[in-house]
Amino acid sequence: MKFTVARSGVPAGSYGAKFVQAEAFSNDYGDAVRLTFEVVAGDHTGATCSRIVSPKLTPKSGLYRFVQALAGRKPEAGEEIDLAALYGTSGMIVVQETDSGAVRVESFVRMG
């Protein structure tokens, strides 16, 4: 019996994408947020990529870095952020391979 290893997600690289979803996520490491982006151009159009970040929105957190990039500005202390209001935001994602061989969105740059 033969099997072929399938690739999940898209290969490491840069892609035009839009932000499509934020959802609560939990595993053995605790609570988190999964940020999902959809590739909008090229060979991988329609494929999704994600990044799991801590749900803490502080200036040093991964979530803050993505919110800042998606909103195009620095969130203010005490400001409430609705991630659903940022759905559809277009930009460029950088996808990198992790040590385990999985891929994840490393960064997002807003276009326009």
Judge whether residue 30 has pLDDT over 90.
yes
Largest CA distance in the chain: 58
Here the tokens at position 102 are 């999985």
Q: What is the CATH number of domain 13-110?
A: 2.40.50
Q: Write down the pLDDT at residue 8.
A: 62
So what's the pLDDT on residue 7? 59
Question: Alpha-carbon distance 92 to 79, whole Å?
Answer: 26
Q: Report the chain's mean pLDDT, rounded to a whole number.
A: 93
Q: What is the pLDDT of residue 6?
A: 63
* pTM of the predicted structure, to 2 decimals: 0.90
Is-contact 95 104, C-beta < 8 A?
yes
Q: Where are the domains of the chain?
A: 13-110
The model's confidence at residue 89, banded by pLDDT at 50, 70 and 90, is: very high
